Amino acid sequence: MSTNAGPSGRKTLPVAERLHVTRGMVVQELGWDDDVDDDLRIALEDAVDGELVEEAVEAVDVVLLWWRDSDGDVVDGLVEALTDLGSNGFIWLMTPKVGREGYVDPADIAEGALTAGLSLTSTATLSEDWAASKLVRPKGTRR
């Protein structure tokens, strides 16, 4: 994969690399609807060399969780995302950007992460309409 020029003309890493997703990883996708970013999904499928899974049959490495304000309490979504997540896995919480329909306040994300027993480690802008927040289990709880 090559790098792309960002809005400022700077080189940016490919989406999958920015999301720390590599070949062979199992990525579960939750919250899919027709408003998601299909280019991002395709980039992830290309990176893992497989399809995103909805129903996991084994522990997954990454959960891609699409979440909108109308989906309810973000804590519920995060707790559901933990169901199939491997002990060293992580969640990318995808939420609409500010000003987009379904926008989720960052304070709600931070509070939801804490309540679900997760740590918010980073955020990324990956597409025109969606922002990403990386969530992990605190180091002391990973096994």
What DSSP state is assigned to residue 53? Answer: B
pLDDT of residue 80: 96
Domain count for the chain, please give it.
Answer: 1
User: How crowded is residue 118: how many other Cβ atoms within 10 Å of its Cβ?
Assistant: 25
pTM of the predicted model as reported, rounded to 2 decimal places: 0.87
Q: Do the domain assignments include residue 2?
A: no
1: in domain: no
Burial per residue of 27-64, b for 16 or more beta-carbon CB atoms within 10 angstroms, e otherwise: bbbbbeeeebbeebbebbbebbeeebbeeeeeebbbbb
Q: Is residue 93 part of a domain?
A: yes
Length of the chain: 143
CA–CA separation, 140 and 105 (whole Å) = 28
The residue segments making up the domain with residue 22 are 7-141
Q: Give a yes or no: residue 136 inside a domain.
A: yes
Q: Where are the alpha helices (DSSP H) in the chain?
A: 15-18, 38-48, 74-82, 106-115
Flag residues of the chain having pLDDT under 50: 1-11, 142
Return the pLDDT at 2.
38
CATH number for 126: 3.40.50.150
Provide the pLDDT for residue 62.
Answer: 97
